Structure 1
Amino acid sequence: MDSELPAPNFSRMADQLDLLLGVIFMASPMLGMSPCSSDGQIALFRFCNLTQIPWVLDTTERLLLSFNYISVVNATSFPFLKQLLLLELGTQFTPMTIGREAFRNLPNLRILDLGQNKIEVLNLDAFQGLPHLFELRLFACGLSSVVLRDGYFRNLNSLARLDLSGNQIYSLHLHSSFQELNSLKAIDFSLNEILTLCEDELKPLQGKALSFFGLKSASLFSRVSVDWETCRNPFRDMWLETLDLSSNGWTVDITGNFSNIIWGSRVSSLMLTYHIMGSGFGFQNMKDPDQDTFAGLARSSVIFLDISHGYIFSLNSRVFETLKDLKILDLAFNKINKIADNAFHGLDNLQVLNISYNLLGELYNSNFYGLPRVAYIDLQKNHIGIIQSQTFRFLEKLHTLDLRDNALKTINFIPSILTVFLGGNKLASLPHVRFTANFIQLSENRLENLSDLYFLLQIPQLQSLILNQNRLSSCKAADTPSENLNLEQLFLAENMLQLAWETGLCWDVFRGLFRLQILYLNSNYLNFLPPGIFNDLVSLRWLNLGANRLTSLSPGSLPANLEILDISRNQLFSPDPGLFASLSILDITHNEFVCQCELSPFIIWLNLTNVTLLGSPADVYCMYPDLLLGTSLYEISTKDCDEEETLRSLKFSLFILCTVTLTLLLVTTLIVIKFRGACFLCYKTIQKLVFKDKVQSSEPSGYRYDAYFCFSGKDFEWAQNALLKHLDAQYSSCNRLRLCFEERDFIPGENHISNIHAAVWGSRKTVCLVSRQFLKDGWCLEAFRYAQSRCLSDLKNVLIVVVVGSLSQYQLMKHETIRGFLQKQQYLRWPEDLQDVGWFLSKLSGHILKEEKGEKRSNTLPLQTVTTIS
C-alpha cells in the first residue's frame, strides 16, 4: 500500500542472509580447530607457509588457504573434491599464476575467493568447469580491463555475484558472454579508475535486472569532460535495485547531466553519498541542488535516494518535485541551514525523511508542506532551538519524530504521534500539552521536578518512557499518582531521586503501574528504598538498582515476581540471600562485602544457588577486613563461623570477663580523677626512687638559660610563688631549670629592648604568662613579638604561652599580637584546681626541655580489630 514503508528487496535480502548464514556456519566449527589441520569437512590452512595446495579428504566442504605462499594454481593442483563448496585462496604473499581450468576438480564449488592477490597471469579459461559457481571474489587483484573485454567469465551460468572492486579497470567494455550470465545479480566495480561510462559499454547487460551495481569511488565523470549526448544512457533497458555512485566527487551539474542521460532506466535505490553538491556553510562557489538537478529521474521510479555526506546548505523550492515514487530520502551529514517553501513539493509518497546532522536552527510551519504520507522524520544532531507550533501538526501520517541532541527549551509544537525522541535538549520543565505517544524519550535534558514525571505517567497510551540523565531531585506534596495500565518500561537512570525521597515525599510515584515490567533506577545516589515503593509493581520482571549507595535491603522490599536484578556497584555489607529467592538472573558484583561471620549465609548461598550470577567470581570480593581485601567470596571458608559449636561455650565467660574488666576500669578512672593530685605525687616519688642515680639536671646546651619567663611586674609575687620557686635552680637545689626573668637577670641601666633581646635569644624557650596585666604591659607585648620573630628565624616553636586567670578566648583574640599565635599554635592554661598544679609544672618543664624538630603530627586513627572469616 502507498501509506506503508517501501517493501524491502526480499531477493537481495535472501542472498545476503544466505551469505551471512554461510559465513557463520563456516566460522563456528573453526573456533575449536587447531591451525593447519582438517576435520573432514573444514580444512583450515591459514598462515601455514604453504607453497602448494595441500592434500585434504574428499569429504571437505570448506578449504581455507589464505595467507600462504601458493604461487601457481592449475588443473592438477587440486584433488577431486566433489563436495567442496567454498574455496578461500586470497591474500597470498607471492604473485600468483592461475592456469587453464585451474578449478575443474571442484565441480560443485559455490564460492571462490581470490581477493587481494597479485595475479600476474590469469588464463582465459581459468574459470571454466565451474557450472555451480555462485560468487566470485576478485577484489584488489591488480586486474585490468582485459578481464571484462575477453570473456573470462563465460559459461558461468550460476554466477550471481562478481566482485571486481579495487582493481586497475579503466573501461567497462563488457564481453558478449556477459549476456549469457542469466543468474548475475550483483556486480561491483568500486575503487577502480572508470572515468566514463557510456551506452555501448554495458550492452551485454541490457534487459537484465541487477540487485546491485557498484561504482563507488571510481572518479566517474568527475575528471574528464563528457559529451553527454554522444555518451547516452549506459543503463538503458536495465533495472537496478541499487546503484551506488558514492564518493565520485559529483557536483550539481554532473548530477543533473547524469540524471538526464539515464532517463527511463529503473533505479530503485540511488546512492550519491559523499558528494560535493552544495555551497556549504559560508561559501557561494558551489551550487545547491535545484529544480533541474533530479528532473531526469522522473521515470526512474526511484524509491530510495541517498545524498548524505555533502555540502548542501539550502533545500531549494521544488528540488525533488519529479521524484513521485520516492519513499526514503536521506539528507544527513550535509550543511542544511535553510528549507525553502515547497522544498518537498511533489514527494507525495515519501515516508522516511532524514535531515539529521545538519545546521538547522529554526523550523517554520511551511517547512514540511508536500509530505502527506511521511511517517518518520529524523532531525537529530542539528541546532534547532525554535519550532513553530504548526510545523508538524498537518502531517497526518507522522508517527515517529526524532529531535534528539538539539537546543529545544519547550515542546508546545509536539503533534499527536506515537513515538517521540527528545533526548539531549535543554528542557527544564514540560508544559502540560496533550500527548498521545506510546514511546517518549527525554533523556539528557534538565528536568528537575518529579511533577513532570507524574504528568507523563498520566498519558494513557504510554508504554515506554525514558528519562535517563536528567536532574530529577525535587518533589511537591500535591502531585497525584496515576494508574497507568499500559506502561511497560520506565528508565530513570542517572537522576537524583535520593534528594526527593529523603524529604519523605513522592514515595507513591510508582503507584498504579501494575503492568510495568522493566524499571531502571541505577545511578540515583540511593542510600535507601522508601517503604512500599514497589508494592504496586506486580508485573515487574527486571529491576536495575546498580551504581547507588545501598548498604542493605530490607525483607519484602523487592517485588515478589522479580526475575532479573542488577544491584552491582552498591555498598552492600551482608545481604540476606532470602531476598533473591525468586530471581533467575542476579548481578551483585562490585559491592563492599564485610567478610565476617555475618556474611556466611550469603557465601553458602552463592556456592549452592541456581540463580545465574553475572560477572566473574573475581568481581564478588571482600572490602573488609584489610587482610581479605580483594579476596573473592568464592574463596572464603565458613567452617569456623558455626555459632553453635564455636561461640556458645564462650558466651558466659566472655560476659563475665567483660563485666569485671569494665568495672575495674571505671573504678580506677574515678579514683584517678578524684585524687589526681595525690596520684601525681605518688608517681613523682616512685620516679625519683627508680631513677635516683640518673642526672637530674638538663643537658648542657649552647643557651645561657633554659627559659626566659616574661610576665607583668604586677604579677611578680604570684609568678614567684607559683612557678619560680618550683622550677628555678637558684631558688632550690632540687630544681633543674636555669630561668631568666626581668626582676633578677636584666642588667640595670641597660636599654630595656636590649635586655629583652638578650633574654629571648639567650634562652632555649620563652614562656609568656599572659594575664590581664600582661595584656596591658607594652614591654611584655614587645617581648612576645621578639619571641615570635625568633620562631620564624629558627623555624622552631620556641614560644610557650600560659594563660593565667579567667581570660576568655574572645578577650585574647582582641589583641592583634596574640591573635596570630592563637590561630596557629596551642597554648597552656594555669589549672584552676590546686591538685593539678604539680602535674602542670611537670608538663611545663617537659615543654621547656623538649628539643623542637618540626615533625608533623600523624592524623591517622587506629583501626578496630574485627573477627574475620578464616
Structure 2
Amino acid sequence: MGDHLDLLLGVVLMASPVWGVSPCSCDGRMAVYLSCNLTQVPPVPNTTERLLLSFNYIRTVTTSSFPFLEQLKLLELGAQHTPLTIGKEAFRNLPDLRILDLGRSQIDFLHPDAFQGLPRLSELRLFSCGLSDVVLKDGYFRNLKSLTRLDLSINQIRSLYFHPSFQELNSLKSIDFFLNQIHTLCGSELRPLRGKTLALGLAANGLYGTTAADWGRCTNPFRDVVLDSLDVSENGWTVDTTGNFSKAISGSRISSLSLSHHVMGSGFGFHNIRDPDQSTFAGLARSSLTRLDLSHGFIFSLNPRLFETLKDLKFLNLAHNKINKIADEAFYGLDNLQVLNLSYNLLGELYNSNFYGLTNVAYVDLQKNHIGIIQDQTFTLLKKLNTLDLRDNALQTLSLVPGVSTIFLGGNKLMTLPRTSLESSFIQLSANRLENMDELYFLLQIPHLQILILNQNRLSSCTRSPTPSKNLSLEKLLLGENMLQLAWETGLCWDVFKGLFHLRILHLNNNYLNFLPPGVFSDLTALRGLNLNSNRLTVLYSDDLPANLEILDVSRNQLLVPDPDLFVSLSALDITHNKFICQCELSPLIRWLNETSVTIFGSPEDMSCSYPDSLSGVSLYSVSTEGCDEEEVLKSLQFSLFIFFTVTLTLFLVAVLVVTKFRGFCFTCYKTAQRLVFGDHRREAQPDPYKYDAYLCFSSKDLEWVQSALLKHLDIQYSDQNGFNLCFEDRDFVPGENHLANIQDAVWSSRKVVCLVSRHFLRDGWCLEAFSYAQGRCLSHLSAALIVVVVGSLSQYQLMKHQCVRGFVQKRQYLRWPEDPQDVGWFLHKLSQQILKKERAKKKDDGVQLQTVGTVS
C-alpha cells in the first residue's frame, strides 16, 4: 500500500513545475528560468527569495548583473552552456544570499574578489568548474564568515595549500575535494585549518598512489585539526599504504574514516596481496575513531585482533568484500561496536567463536552471503543484539535466537521453523519454502510480534486448524504470493486471523483466491489497509470487508459488477485491471466513480470494459448510462407498486380488524348512509293474499324478550319506522276461540312463520303444535314458509330430541340468534329479507330449497 502512496505523490510532483512555478516565470518569491535561452540575468522583483538560472547562456556576471535583491537566499547559476566570467564583487547586490550554486559551469575567469560582499553565504557550490590550486592559494574565500560548506569536487586542484584567510572562516564545517588530482598531502599544508572541526573529502584523487610518499619526512597533515569525517576512499590503497597513512596521522582525532573501494586483501583464489592485519590500523589507536568504512574491497580473511586498537569504534562496514573466513578473536577489542556490516561477502558457515568480543553489538548484517549452517551458540554471547539480517543466504534449518527483536530471514531455503520461544517484534521470512499453515499459526503465537512478513512462500497445506491464540500486538501481516486458496478450499484454517484485534495492514495479494471464507476478517476490527491484488475474485459481498477499512487494493482480479456501496466508507481504492461487464448492472459503479471523493488509484485507461465486445477496452469513465434509465424507472415502479400493495394490504387488514371489532356500529352507519343516499323507501302496498307478513311463534315466557328484541324493531304497531305487520298470540289471537283454530288461522294467513325456538319453546306443547302446522303448510305448498330461529345455547342434540323439530333441522337450515349484541342489527336485517322473500313453488320431486342465511355465533 505504501508503494501506491509513493506513486501518487510522485505523480503529483511530476505534474507540477518546480515548487508550483511555471518555467521562465516569477511569482514574486520564486523566479524559475531554467533552460530559457537567457544571455543575461532577467529583471526580477526585489521580493524574490529564490532565483534559478541554470541551463542558460549567461557569459558574464558583474555587480550590475543583479538588481538589489535584499531578500534573495538561493541563487543557481550552474550548468551554463557557455564559459562563465565572474567579475569583482559580482554578487554584492545580494546581501542575504545563503546558497550560491555555480556547479557544472566552466569558469574561464574568476576574480579574486568575486565573492566579496556576501556576509551570510553558508554554502558555496563550485563543483566541476575547471578550477585549479589558485582558488585555495589566493584567498578567494576571505571574509565569508558564515561559510559552512565548500564544494570543490571534480576540479583540477593538485595541492592543498590553503590561503591564511581560511583561518578566519570559523563557521566552516565541510570541504569536499572529491575527484581532483591531489596526489600527496604532507606537513603544514593544512595549517590554516588548525583548530577547526570539519568534514574533509579526499576521495578519488590518487592520493599516495601514483607518487610514493616519503612517510618518514611527510609528517601528520591533520595536526590540530579535528575531523568529523575523513573520506579517502577510491584512492587504490593497499594494506601497506593504509598502514603507513594510519601511522602518519597518529594522534589526530577522526570520528569517521572511509576507506571504501580499496584494493586491500587477496580476494578469492589469489594470494599476491595481503589481507589487513593487526598492524594495519594500529596508528589509529588514539584517534577516537567511531566509524570505519572498509567496504568494496578484496579482503578474504579477517585476521586475529584485526581491530584491537579501535576501542571506540561503533560502526564497522565490511560489506562488498570477499570475506570467507573469520579468524578467532577477529573482533577482539571492539567492546563498543554497535553495528557490524558483513553483507555481500563469501561466508558459508558461522561458528560459535566468530563474533567473540562483540559484547555491545546491536545490529549484525549478514545478508547476501552463502551461509548454509550456523552453530547453535553463534549469537549467544551477543547479549545486546536486537537486529539480525540473514537475508539471501542458503539456510535450510535454523536455531533462532530468542533475544533478537528484529530478524530478517528472507531469501533462504527454510521449510520448517524450530519450535523455540521467540521474543521478536519483527520477523521477515519472505522468499523461503514454508508450506504448512502450522508455521503461520506458530508465528502468530509470538507474544510481542508486531510485523510479520511471509511473502513469496508456499503456504498452501492445512491438514488441521490449530487453535489460534490472541495476538494483541501484531500490526502488519504480509502473506502475498502464497497459495492460501489451496488451504482454504479444504474448509480448514478459516480462523487463521482470529484474535488479531490490532492488525492494521494485511497483504493477501497473489494467493489465487477465488473466494473469501465467511467471517475470515471478523476479528480484524482495527484493519485499515487490505491488499487483495492479483487474485481471482469475481465478487465481493458486504460482509467480506472489515467495517473500519480505509485503503483497499482489489486490482488485477476478475470482478465483474462490483457494488459501489462496498467502497463508500474507504479513503483510497484500487480496482484497476478487472474484467468489468459494462451492462446496466454496472451503471451504479460508473456513476459512483464519476461522483466519489474516494481517492482512486490508477489511470482511467486501467479501468476498462471486458464485455461486451463492442465496448472492450473502453474506459469506465467513457461509458454512458443513459440507456439504463428505463431499468431504473422500472425498478422505481416496482418499488412504488410494492409500497402501494403493501399499504393497500395493510389498510385492508386494518379495515377487516375494525369491521370485525366494531361490526355493529359499521352496519348501523351503513344503513344510515343508505337512507341518506337513497331515501327512506317504504314497501309499497300491493295486493297481498296474506293478512300478516309473519306469524311469530314463541313461548309466552319469552314475551318480554321478544318485545324488546324483535317487535320493537320490526312490528309496525310498535313504531311507524317499522315495516312489518306481525302476528303473535298475546295480541292477535281471538279470545274464547279454539286455540288450535287460532294457530291454524295464524299459520295460513301469514306469508312466513317465524318460530323462535328456545328452551321454553321446546317445553310448550302449543308452540310445538304450531311448528307442526307450519311444517304441514310447507309440505302442502312446497314452499319455504317456515323460518326457524334458535335462541339461546341450545345444542344440536337438544333440538334433535323433539321429533317434529328433528325432521326440520336434518333437512333444512335454520338461523341462530347472535350472542354478540353488536350483531343484532345485521341479524334483523337478514331476517327481514327472509320474511320479504317470495318463494317459488317447485315440483315435489325437485325437493325443497331455502336460501342459506348462515349461522351467527
Pairwise same-fold verdict (TM > 0.5) = yes
Structure 1: unaligned runs, 5 residues or longer: 1-23, 652-870
Aligned counterpart for 2:441 among listed residues 433, 454, 457: 454
Aligned counterpart for 1:146 among listed residues 124, 134, 148: 134
Residue 635 of structure 1 and its aligned partner are, at CA, apart by 2.4
* Residue equivalent to 1:583: 570
Residue 449 of structure 1 and its aligned partner are, at CA, apart by 0.7
* Residue equivalent to 2:211: 224
Whichever residue aligns with residue 455 of structure 2, its letter is N
Output the CA distance in 2 between the equivalents of 1:76 and 1:586: 56
Q: Is the 8 A contact 2:311 2:336 kept in 1?
A: yes
- Percent identical across equivalent pairs? 70
Whichever residue aligns with residue 215 of structure 1, its letter is L
* Residue equivalent to 1:206: 194
Output the CA distance in 2 between the equivalents of 1:415 and 1:327: 24
Whichever residue aligns with residue 532 of structure 2, its letter is L
Q: Is the 8 A contact 1:392 1:415 kept in 2?
A: no
Aligned counterpart for 1:253 among listed residues 227, 230, 240: 240
Do structure 1's residue 556 and structure 2's residue 528 form an aligned pair?
no
Residue 608 of structure 1 and its aligned partner are, at CA, apart by 3.4
Aligned counterpart for 1:88 among listed residues 76, 86, 89: 76
Output the CA distance in 1 between the equivalents of 2:188 and 2:396: 58
Encode CA deviations 1:302-332: one digit per residue, 9 max, x unaligned: 1111110111100000000111111010111
Give the 3-state SS of the residue equivalent to 1:76 in structure 2.
helix
Do structure 1's residue 489 and structure 2's residue 476 form an aligned pair?
yes
* Residue equivalent to 1:465: 452
Q: Is the 8 A contact 1:388 1:413 kept in 2?
A: no
Encode CA deviations 1:49-91: one digit per residue, 9 max, x unaligned: 3333333332222222222222222333333222222222222
Q: Is the 8 A contact 2:465 2:492 kept in 1?
A: no
* Residue equivalent to 2:717: none
Residue 131 of structure 1 and its aligned partner are, at CA, apart by 1.6
Do structure 1's residue 46 and structure 2's residue 18 form an aligned pair?
no
Distance 1:552 1:148, change over 3 A: same
RMSD after superposition? 2.1
Distance 1:318 1:28, change over 3 A: farther
Give the 3-state SS of the residue equivalent to 1:229 in structure 2.
coil
Residue 649 of structure 1 and its aligned partner are, at CA, apart by 13
Whichever residue aligns with residue 308 of structure 1, its letter is S
Output the CA distance in 1 between the equivalents of 2:542 and 2:55: 61
Aligned counterpart for 2:123 among listed residues 135, 150, 162: 135
Residue 32 of structure 1 and its aligned partner are, at CA, apart by 4.2
Residue 98 of structure 1 and its aligned partner are, at CA, apart by 2.1
* Residue equivalent to 2:623: 636
Whichever residue aligns with residue 322 of structure 1, its letter is T
Whichever residue aligns with residue 162 of structure 1, its letter is L
Whichever residue aligns with residue 375 of structure 2, its letter is Q
Single out whichever of 59-68 and 444-453 deviates more from structure 2: 59-68
Q: Trace 1:832-851 onto structure 2 (pairs within 5 A).
A: none
Structure showing greater Rg: 2
Single out whichever of 538-547 and 631-640 deviates more from structure 2: 631-640
Give the 3-state SS of the residue equivalent to 2:573 in structure 1.
strand
Distance 1:487 1:57, change over 3 A: closer
Do structure 1's residue 167 and structure 2's residue 155 form an aligned pair?
yes
Distance 1:48 1:530, change over 3 A: closer
How high is the TM-score relative to the length of structure 1?
A: 0.70
Give the 3-state SS of the residue equivalent to 1:253 in structure 2.
helix
Distance 1:90 1:606, change over 3 A: closer
Output the CA distance in 1 between the equivalents of 2:632 and 2:288: 86
Give the 3-state SS of the residue equivalent to 2:166 in structure 1.
helix
Output the CA distance in 2 between the equivalents of 1:168 and 1:580: 62
Aligned counterpart for 1:308 among listed residues 265, 283, 295: 295
Whichever residue aligns with residue 289 of structure 1, its letter is P
Aligned counterpart for 2:526 among listed residues 539, 549, 564: 539
Q: Trace 1:657-806 onto structure 2 (pairs within 5 A).
A: none
Whichever residue aligns with residue 598 of structure 1, its letter is E
Q: Is the 8 A contact 2:402 2:424 kept in 1?
A: no
Give the 3-state SS of the residue equivalent to 1:231 in structure 2.
coil
* Residue equivalent to 1:273: 260
Residue 542 of structure 1 and its aligned partner are, at CA, apart by 1.3
Residue 92 of structure 1 and its aligned partner are, at CA, apart by 2.1
Aligned counterpart for 2:174 among listed residues 179, 186, 199: 186
Output the CA distance in 2 between the equivalents of 1:614 and 1:425: 34
Aligned counterpart for 2:352 among listed residues 345, 365, 388: 365
Whichever residue aligns with residue 312 of structure 1, its letter is I
Distance 1:538 1:50, change over 3 A: closer
Give the 3-state SS of the residue equivalent to 1:148 in structure 2.
helix
Q: Is the 8 A contact 1:198 1:233 kept in 2?
A: yes
Whichever residue aligns with residue 82 of structure 1, its letter is E
Single out whichever of 375-384 and 606-615 deviates more from structure 2: 606-615
Whichever residue aligns with residue 627 of structure 2, its letter is D
Output the CA distance in 1 between the equivalents of 2:553 and 2:83: 56
Do structure 1's residue 432 and structure 2's residue 419 form an aligned pair?
yes
Give the 3-state SS of the residue equivalent to 2:190 in structure 1.
helix
Output the CA distance in 1 between the equivalents of 2:376 and 2:636: 80
Output the CA distance in 2 between the equivalents of 1:499 and 1:54: 68
Give the 3-state SS of the residue equivalent to 2:392 in structure 1.
coil
Output the CA distance in 2 between the equivalents of 1:139 and 1:86: 17
Q: Is the 8 A contact 1:313 1:334 kept in 2?
A: yes
Whichever residue aligns with residue 500 of structure 1, its letter is A
Distance 1:153 1:529, change over 3 A: same
Residue 413 of structure 1 and its aligned partner are, at CA, apart by 4.4
Whichever residue aligns with residue 146 of structure 2, its letter is S
Output the CA distance in 2 between the equivalents of 1:419 and 1:281: 32
Residue 469 of structure 1 and its aligned partner are, at CA, apart by 0.4
Structure 2: unaligned runs, 5 residues or longer: 1-11, 639-857
Whichever residue aligns with residue 424 of structure 2, its letter is A
Aligned counterpart for 2:376 among listed residues 364, 389, 392: 389
Distance 1:48 1:634, change over 3 A: closer
Whichever residue aligns with residue 109 of structure 1, its letter is L
Whichever residue aligns with residue 189 of structure 2, its letter is E
Residue 406 of structure 1 and its aligned partner are, at CA, apart by 0.2
Distance 1:534 1:243, change over 3 A: same
Aligned counterpart for 1:295 among listed residues 263, 275, 282: 282
* Residue equivalent to 2:393: 406
Q: Is the 8 A contact 2:444 2:469 kept in 1?
A: yes
Residue 274 of structure 1 and its aligned partner are, at CA, apart by 0.6
Do structure 1's residue 110 and structure 2's residue 95 form an aligned pair?
no
Distance 1:639 1:70, change over 3 A: closer
Give the 3-state SS of the residue equivalent to 2:222 in structure 1.
coil
Output the CA distance in 1 between the equivalents of 2:447 and 2:427: 13
Q: Is the 8 A contact 2:21 2:30 kept in 1?
A: no
Output the CA distance in 2 between the equivalents of 1:103 and 1:247: 36
Residue 280 of structure 1 and its aligned partner are, at CA, apart by 0.5
* Residue equivalent to 1:337: 324
Q: Is the 8 A contact 2:465 2:493 kept in 1?
A: no
* Residue equivalent to 1:66: 54
Aligned counterpart for 2:603 among listed residues 588, 607, 616: 616
Q: Is the 8 A contact 2:17 2:23 kept in 1?
A: no
Output the CA distance in 2 between the equivalents of 1:536 and 1:40: 55
Give the 3-state SS of the residue equivalent to 1:199 in structure 2.
coil
Single out whichever of 388-397 and 576-585 deviates more from structure 2: 576-585
Whichever residue aligns with residue 123 of structure 1, its letter is H
* Residue equivalent to 1:354: 341
Encode CA deviations 1:140-195: one digit per residue, 9 max, x unaligned: 11111111111111111111111111111111011111111111111111111100
Output the CA distance in 1 between the equivalents of 2:583 and 2:83: 69
Encode CA deviations 1:121-145: one digit per residue, 9 max, x unaligned: 2222222222222111111111111
Whichever residue aligns with residue 68 of structure 1, its letter is N
